[in-house]
Chains A and B, each alone.
Chain A
Amino acid sequence: MAIQVNQLTKKFRIFKREAGLQGALRSFLHRQYEDFYALRDINLEIQSGEVLGILGENGAGKTTLIKLLVGLLHPTSGRVLIDGFTPWERKNDFLRNISIVMGQKNQLWWDIPAAESFLLNQKIYGIEDKQFRKTLDELVDLLDISSKLNTQVRRLSLGERMKMEIIAALLHRPKIVLLDEPTIGLDVVSQSKIRDFVKFYNEKRGTTILLTSHYMTDIQALCKRVFVIHKGRALYDGNFDILVNRVNPSKKLTFEFPEHPSAATIQKLENNFALRIEDRFLTAQLPDAELNELLVQLFNLHKPKSFSLEELPVEETMKAFFADPEKFV
């Protein structure tokens, strides 16, 4: 097992004050604090080579969990074991086998080309020249970024910079990679390239990957399993498709009649199902069972000129989920 988390809790002490000058003065004289539980009693097990999506709305505790797993934070209570190491002890052998990419932070030197930061990482991780060259060439090739290696980091586009960050994070071939919003702010083409790369890399190297993203297409493309956190507590741990289906079991059917259906047919269909008919096109958004029944009736009535069945957009589904997550799990 790559990662084992038991009863993990993280409490922050938050400084509280009223707005305005008076509030500032009052808090200067007498500070008030309150406890905020970012995570409570989290249990989680992740197998080697698995890709796990960590989901939750803003402030749910996703990044806190990632930071605890990588050893950036000390927990209030609980235990984490990653390949036998406790992350916050930050043993060198642990740090050599783990990496993190944070979409909103960078580890590259801003004013000089990324290639120089890669050389620095080579020395920091003690990577042999031959392996360094081989890994770098492979990553640069996969991410198609060779022409920008000698450009100052501050002159790169956001997408290019993210690719460089990913290369810097993977040069030492970590066994576990945590990706915290790696596609944030990127255009759809860059998002898709990064997704393809992560998928390929996980399959090729068997790296364990933990991913947080607000883009559900990232999660859908990369993660079979998701771990949902809500207000600091674990809410769901399981298959992503099952969750999506639980939230919105409907599919969208579009059925094209060969000719305009009769008024009687329309009436009959509309009496039995929630659907809409415009001209020769019937559209309906129904759960699987009802949809099957409707299709049987339609095929008995007419041979379609064309028809299609679509999954509902996952972004929309998850938006509905996060509006009231407790309702679905």
Chain B
Amino acid sequence: MNMVNRFTAKYSAVIRMTWIQALEYKANSLVGTFAIISGVFIEYLLWKRIFLTRGVSVINGFTFGDLMVYIFLSLVVGQLKSSWITSLEMITAIREGELNKYLIRPISFFTYHFMLFIGYNSLFYLVYFFMIAGMIIFFPGWAFPSLLNIAGFLGTLIISVYLSYSVYFVMVCFAFWFGEVRALIIAYNLANMVLSGQMVPLRFFPDSVLKILRFTPLPYLVDLPVSIATGNLPVERWWTESLHSLFWSVAMTFIGLVVYREGIQRYEGFGG
């Protein structure tokens, strides 16, 4: 078996395990899948009130309908890319010595948990695929003006999922030094929800904030794929923006591996 086949077999088996586990807890998986609906509903009520109170039909270039489509897609992307629960599990593994079971086997802690995250999210991928497909078929004018937007959305979504995981991984590795870093993950998660465009489009922010955000990976996590999906980003800017997100993915992976390599030397493998 060559290296690529072995890698694929090894990590696809991890994804398979997550599916088996999810099937053990059918109700929990289904409830989790439809949790996004409550988020859309709350934002619907909130923005309906804002539009009515201000008596306007457009805010920052968004009609109420545009905004609802943006919010729906941003919640989808936000959920698909958010690996914060996996991150908390990884921190516990480092803190309590559970990391031992990964270190004694020929597997990578980084890749193994990335596959766990992808596996646990698989049901979301499936459900959201059908939701978005339904939106494209039944409400053709709402988003995805062309096939190119679908391709651009998928490409940047994949980068976003990976980039998000690699940012979390860097923070997880701080557990080797500080033991408990869950507060950092939670704080980042809250900031990320607002500053990546998951709650409101980034163009609602002042220019000064946007200028700072451009030097962080945050705009590439949610706002980029959703702006491509809704046609809000001109096609000529797709490549530069995608290259920026790729740069951040490579940079965060590199930083993560360096921090992990340093951190693992301090690992104390508590317990047992």
Interfacial residues, chain A to chain B (CB-CB below 8 A): 12, 63, 67, 70-74, 90, 92, 95-96, 98-100, 102-107, 109, 111-112, 116-117, 119-126, 152, 180-181
Contacts and interface: CB of A to CB of B under 8 A. Distances in A.
B206 interface: no
B10 A98 contact: no
A105 B100 contact: yes
A73 B106 contact: no
Given A74-B265, A119-B13, A123-B9, A95 B105 contact: yes
Contacts of B6: 126
A73 B9 contact: no
The 4 closest A-B pairs by CB, nearest first: A123-B13, A107-B101, A104-B272, A102-B272
B128 to A, nearest CB: 25
A72 B104 contact: yes
Given A103-B272, A105-B272, A124-B10, A92 B101 contact: no
B1 to A, nearest CB: 6
A100 B101 CA distance: 9
Contacts of A73: 267-269
A70 to B, nearest CB: 6
B106 A96 contact: yes
12 contacts: A63-B272, A70-B104, A72-B267, A95-B104, A105-B101, A105-B272, A107-B105, A109-B21, A111-B25, A117-B17, A120-B14, A126-B1
B20 interface: yes
Nearest to A92: B106
B6 to A, nearest CB: 5
B65 to A, nearest CB: 43
A95 B12 CA distance: 20
Contacts of A99: 104
B106 A67 contact: no
Nearest to B9: A123
B97 interface: yes
B269 A124 contact: no
Contacts of A125: 105-106
Given A95-B105, A112-B20, A105 B13 contact: no
A180 B101 CA distance: 14
Contacts of B9: 123, 126
A42 to B, nearest CB: 17
B100 A116 contact: no
Contacts of B141: none
A121 B103 CA distance: 14
Given A70-B104, A72-B104, 14 more contacts: A12-B268, A71-B104, A72-B269, A98-B104, A103-B272, A105-B101, A109-B17, A112-B17, A112-B21, A119-B13, A120-B14, A123-B10, A126-B1, A152-B24
Interface in B76-117: 97-98, 100-101, 103-107
B20 A105 contact: no
Contact of A100 (B16, B20, B104, B107): B104
A72 B265 CA distance: 9
B271 interface: yes
B24 A111 contact: yes
Contacts of B103: 71-72, 90
A100 B103 CA distance: 11
| Most chain A CB neighbours (cut-off 10 Å) among B17, B24, B98, B106 | B106
Contacts of A102: 100, 272
Nearest to A99: B104
Contacts of A121: 105
A99 B21 CA distance: 25
A72 B102 CA distance: 10
B38 to A, nearest CB: 26
B21 A111 contact: yes
Contacts of A90: 103
Contacts of A67: 100, 269
A71 to B, nearest CB: 7
Contacts of B100: 67, 72, 100, 102, 105
B199 to A, nearest CB: 34
Given A71-B104, A92-B106, A95-B106, A116 B271 contact: no
A120 B104 contact: no
Nearest to B23: A112
A112 B25 CA distance: 10
